[in-house]
Amino acid sequence: MKIDYQDSALFKSTTIIAVKKKRELALAGDGQVTLGTQIMKNKATKIRRLYKNSILSGFAGAAADALTIYERMEKKLEEYEGDLLRASVELTKEWRSDKYLRKLEAMLLLGNKDYLLILSGTGEVIECDSGVAAIGSGGGFAKSAALALVSHSSLSAEKTAKTALTIAAEICIYTNSHISCETLKY
C-alpha cells in the first residue's frame, strides 16, 4: 500500500479541550500522533502558552502547519498588544486570503480570561459561549463529557478538562490518555 503523506485524512492525532469555570481556564490535550493506522508518538505536547503567559492554546492538525500558524499568531498578539480577539480575526483573515497559508491544515483553540476561540484556515473565528470548546478527532466526545461534568459536578476547570479528555480517550481511537494541561486563574 502506498501512503500519500499529503492526504490529510491520514493525519489524525489530537483531542484538545478547553473549560472555563469559576475564574479558571484549563486547556488540555492528549499526546497521540497517528499516521494512517499507526500510532507514531504517544507523548506529543500540543498545548502552549502565548503572549506573556496570558493566553492558552492548543492545536489540531499537521504539526508543522500548526507551528507556522503559531508563529503568525504570536506576531499578531505582539502587534495588537495581547488583544486575543483582534489578533485572531486579523490572523484568520491573513490565513484565509494568503495563497500559501490557506493550504495549511490545522485548527487552533485559544483562550484567556475574556475569550474562548476556535480558529481555522477556512475563515472561522468562533467564540464559544458555553465555557467549553474542543477540537480534533475526539473533540466531540470530550466536549460532550465536559458539558455534562460542568452541569452535574463541582469539579474544577482543570479536573473537568482532564476527566473529559480521559473519557474521549476511551472512545476515540485517535486519542490517548497521556494528558498535558495548562491552567490560567483570573
Predicted local confidence at residue 6, as pLDDT: 44
CA distances from 156 to 32, 103, 149 (A): 25, 38, 10
Q: Residue 24: which of 126, 120, 136, 150 has the closest Cα? A: 150
Q: Which of 14, 34, 163, 175 is catalytic?
A: 14
Predicted local confidence at residue 12, as pLDDT: 55
For 143-158, write each residue's pLDDT tens digit.
999 999 999 999 999 9
Predicted local confidence at residue 139, as pLDDT: 96
> Length of the chain, please?
186
What are the start-end ranges of the E strands in the chain? 11-12, 15-21, 24-29, 33-35, 38-41, 47-50, 55-61, 106-111, 116-120, 125-127, 132-136, 180-185
Predicted local confidence at residue 13, as pLDDT: 67
For 101-150, write each residue's pLDDT tens digit.
778 888 999 999 999 999 987 889 999 999 999 999 999 999 999 999 99
Report phi then psi at 124, rounded to 5.
-85, 135
61: pLDDT confidence band, cut at 50, 70 and 90?
confident
CATH 3.40.50.2300 assigned to 8-174 = no
Whether 67 and 38 have beta carbons less than 8 Å apart is answered as no
- Domain range annotation of the chain: 8-174
For 10-32, write each residue's pLDDT tens digit.
445 689 999 999 999 999 999 99
Specify whether 14 is catalytic: yes
pLDDT above 50 for 5: no
pLDDT, average across residues 45-66: 93
* Residue 36, C-alpha cell as written in the block: 494512517
Q: Whole-prediction pTM value?
A: 0.90
